[in-house]
Each structure stands twice: as C-alpha cells, then as structure tokens.
Amino acid sequence: MSKNSFLRDFNSKLGLFLLLLGKFVRFVIFAVFLFYLLSGIGSLAGYSREQVIFIFLTFNLLDILSQFLLREVYRFRPQIISGDFDLVLVKPIKPLFRAAFGGADFIDFLTIPPLFVAIVFFGNELNPSVFLVLAYIILVINGLILAISFHILILAFAVLTLELDSVLWLFRELLNLGKIPLEVYRQPLRTALVYLLPVAIMIAVPAKTLMGLSTFKDILVSVFVTIIFSLASLKFWDYSLSRYTSASS
C-alpha cells in the first residue's frame, strides 16, 4: 500500500518538489527565528538555546513520523462519503489498519534522515548518558503511540459525523504548542497540555528526559496516560463502527 502511495506521489514531480520545498522552508524559518530569538535573550523559560532547539527538533520528529505513517488518515473522509469504506469492511484486513496505515507519505520519508542527523548533533551537545538516550528513544516511541491514538480518535469521529479535516487540523494546531518549552505557557493551559491534550507527554517529556530534567514519576505518568488514551481510542473506534451506516444504505 505504501508502494502505491509512493508511485502516486511521483506522478506529479513538480507537486512533490513544491511540497518538499514548502516543508523545508517552514522548518528553516522557524529554526532561524528560534536561533536569533535566543541569541538576543540567551534563554527561554530557563532553557538554553541548545535545549530549546532540541525540543523543537523532538516536536518535528514526532510530527513527521506520525504524518509519514498515518498519511492515509488525511484521505479517509472521501472513503466515508463515497461509500468506498464499505469495500474495506468486507475485505480480510482490519479496517482500522487500512484506514490508518493504508499508505505512507514519501515526502515525509525524505525529511526523516536529515532530521535524525540534527537530533543526534544537538542531542550530543547536551552530553546525555547512555541511559538517558535509551529513555529518550523509549519515550519517543511512547509519544508516537499517543499520536497514533489521537488519529484513531479522529478516524472514529469521522465515521460518526463525516467530519475529519477540521478536527485533524485542530489537533495539529494544538500539537504545534509543543514547539517551544511548555513552561512558557501559564496555568491552566500548561496543565491541560499535560493531561487533557497530552502534548507534554508526546514532546516535552522525551526532550526533558534526555536533558536529565524529568523525574521517574514523569516517565511513569507518560506511559500510564498513553495506555489510557490508547485503550480509549480503540474502544471509541469499535463504537463508531457499530454505529456506521453505509453510504448506500
């Protein structure tokens, strides 16, 4: 399915180039903004320039990995409206797997290697121990599972209401709050980003763990919240399928 998705992207080489250029320009503009902002003030919410840049890179890692794996979510609404989702339901494959992982994004795939290089470079500047590096990798995977859970909730919502794009982009805008340290935000927004919309668990906790700023309690809470959200999203997906009515019915 990903191979078919890649071939579809290559059908328009100009469009592929422009989308890739747009992603690169957007990334560079915000990175340059952070660099000059921190060059002037020295730190942000108590974080050094290298730490803030690493948080920004961690945000991009989770954002791009989730888009790379879950690009089919962005194409799901037309399947519901046209009735093509009926054909998915009668095939010997899990409907959720097909709806979520039915085609990876080649454009995001191209951006992953240089992002990994940048994370290794700036992460090395923070002088983490081997244990902190391993904890960071585990928490990034934990954050990716949480991102997948949110996308499952969005898919379930689309089955029930036929609405997807606005909810999906609302989630992405909320996720963008994790580009910078959450200490910048005042209460109660900061608490909401930890528990109600766990942006902190996806981005801040992994980054702070590599810096040695997270406690063991923070890590346990992150894993616990991810488990709860994962189970809740799967239950909600099952419920949405039980309420699904075909476009032809």
Q: Which residue has the higher pLDDT, 227 or 172?
A: 227
Domains of the chain, residue spans: 2-242
Q: Give the pLDDT of residue 129.
A: 92
For residues 235 and 56, the model is more confident at: 235
Local confidence band at 14 (pLDDT 50, 70, 90 cut-offs): confident
Residue 96 has a pLDDT of: 92
pLDDT band at 42 (very low <50, low <70, confident <90, very high): low
Extract long-range pairs of 32-37: CB within 8 Å, 24+ residues apart: 34/180
pTM (two decimals): 0.85
Q: How many percent of the chain have pLDDT more than 90?
A: 26
- CB count in 10 Å sphere of residue 21: 10
Q: Which of 33-42, 120-129, 134-143 has the lowest mean pLDDT?
A: 33-42
Give 25 or 125, the one with higher predicted confidence.
125
Average pLDDT over residues 62-71: 89
Neighbours of 186 (CB within 10 A): 7
Given a cut of 90, is residue 17 above it in pLDDT?
A: no
pLDDT (0 to 100) of residue 49: 81
66 has a pLDDT exceeding 60: yes
pLDDT of residue 90: 87
Q: Where are the beta strands (DSSP E) in 37-190?
A: 43-44, 47-48
The residue to which tokens 């050094």 are assigned: 48
Would the pLDDT of 249 be above 60?
no
CA distance 36 to 136: 27
Task: Identify the residue with better confidence: 106 or 112.
Answer: 112
Q: In angstroms, what CA-CA distances link 239 with 43, 155, 156, 196, 235? A: 47, 12, 8, 21, 6
**How far apart are the C-alpha atoms of 177 and 173, rounded to whole Å?**
7
pLDDT digits (tens, 9 = 90+) for 167-206: 888 888 888 888 878 788 777 877 777 766 777 788 889 9
> What was the pLDDT predicted at 210?
93
